[in-house]
Structures are given as structure tokens and as C-alpha cells.
Amino acid sequence: MSLIKCKIYQIDAFTKDVFGGNPACVIELREWLPESVLLSIAKENGVPETAFFINQGEYYHIRWFTPDIEMDLCGHATLATAHVIFNHLGYRYHTIRFRSASGELAVKRDNNLMVLDFPSRDPKPAHLPVELAESLNIQPQEVFKARDYVLVYLNQNEVEAFAPNRALFDRVNINPGGVIVTAPGEYVDFVSRFFTPQATILEDPVTGSAHCSLIPFWGKRLGKTQLHALQLSERGGELYCEDMGSRVLIKGSAATYLVGEIGIPV
């Protein structure tokens, strides 16, 4: 058995400083390894998401893995990957283009921020599944769904107090989605939290992909295209958002926590 040695970066996304935002590991590959190997690496890393990417010349091919499954889209790990490419790999251009399971994505420099250009996922009114309703300590005012369920609450206090019964919550299967809880913010346009049933990590610290649904929802409700958001996890995250119709823009910063090397057995 031989080892493939790869550089690994651990980046805190949607924060200016380490120990905040959402951690992601980022690994550049020369060619794709078996999915089982990528998942094993993500499990070993133990952070909410690990992003793997390959430089294809005009664009980068990117994939995202939680410790449990491959995801179709991940905002914070894409932001982390762009941070690595811009700041550690000598990328000199203004825009990075990615290809992914969710189509083409782009990340642009904007002074000290980076701007994610992602597809909009406008949520539609939905019924709350019985299993999900039974797991909630506070019932929502409204329910919507795109990839994720969007549970709309009266105010920020209810979002802060949200605490699902884990045993009941894990009976719900939304693979590969999750549950967004959201409300108007006290000092920002809206706040949110994100939970994934049956996942190793129950609450995601900052979820860029959830804002693909939150931005069009709150944009229409508030009559605004420019939105300021907070995710109210323990680590917390701040996002500057723009509704562009079929696309959404999500601005954030990132900080490097760790640079190292791993050996992958092949």
C-alpha cells in the first residue's frame, strides 16, 4: 500500500477571525479518489464539511462531504475553498469558477470579502411532517420547503430557544437536506439556525446553502434585495446577501486556522 500526500487546510468561514464561523477542511486532488475514501477523509477530519477540488484549468471541480454523506451544495466550504485558492495557491484573478453537483458556481473578491454566486432555491408552502412536528419544542408559524424545510418563527427569541428532541428529530429523513429555523432579526433583517436529522453534527454553525432559500424568502417578505443576516449557532456567523432573482449573492470572509499534510492510503 502506498500513500498519496496532500496538503490540507482548515478554514473558518463566515468569520474574520479563527474560532468563529463554520470550520471546513479543504483538500486539492490531482484526480478523484473513490467516494468511500473521500467520505473516510471527511469522517476523520470531523468538521461539518470537507471540500475536495481539482484544478481543471478554466474552472475548478468541487465536491463536498459531511462526516456522513456527500452533499449537493455547501456554501461555507466553497467560501473556504475560494479562500485557499486566493490566499494560499497564488490565484491572481478576480473570479474563481467552480463546477459542481449544483451546476456552475462563482466566487469573486470584494475588497476584504468574498462573494458567493449561487443558485436561488425559492421555498414553497409545505406541510409539516408529523414526525418533525413531534420533535419540536416550539411549533412554527409557517412552513416552507425547497431542498430544506424552512420553519418560520415569530421572533428571534424563539429561534434562539429552538431545541429539537434529538431522538424524535432523528426519525425524520430529509437526505440530503435539513431544517432551517428562521425569524425576523432584532438588529438584522433575519436570523436563522440549521439542523440536520440523523447527522453526526446536529447543528451546522453557519450554512451558506440554506441562504439560497432564506434570501428569496425574506427578500420578498421584506421587500428588499439587500439583506443582512445572522446565524445564531454557538459559533455564529454574519452574512451579507443579495437577491438577484434566479441567483443569490452571499458575502463573507474567512480565516486560516491550520495548514498541514495528510497521507491517503491507496
Residue 111: per-residue pLDDT: 87
pLDDT in tens, 126-177: 999 999 999 999 999 999 999 999 999 999 999 999 999 999 999 998 878 8
* H or E segment and range at residue 64: strand 60-65
Residue 249: per-residue pLDDT: 98
- Residue 222, SS3? helix
For the CA atoms of 256, 105, 195, 35, the dihedral, rounded to the nearest 10 degrees, stands at -80
Indicate whether 140 and 103 sit together in one domain.
no
Indicate whether 56 and 86 sit together in one domain.
yes
pLDDT in tens, 144-154: 999 999 999 99
Instruction: Identify the domain containing residue 150 by its residue range.
Output: 124-243
Return the sign of the alpha-carbon dihedral for residues 150, 221, 113, 244.
Answer: positive
Indicate whether 153 and 99 sit together in one domain.
no
Q: Which residues of the chain have pLDDT under 70?
A: none
Q: Are 211 and 239 contacting, i.e. CB atoms less than 8 angstroms apart?
A: yes
Indicate whether 13 and 89 sit together in one domain.
yes
Indicate whether 195 and 211 sit together in one domain.
yes
Active site residues: 49
Give dist(CA 193, CA 30) in Å, integer: 35
CATH of the domain at 173: 3.10.310.10
Give dist(CA 38, CA 20) in Å, integer: 26
- The pTM is what? 0.92
Indicate whether 139 and 89 sit together in one domain.
no
Q: Give me the number of domains the chain comprises.
A: 2
Give dist(CA 182, CA 154) in Å, integer: 9
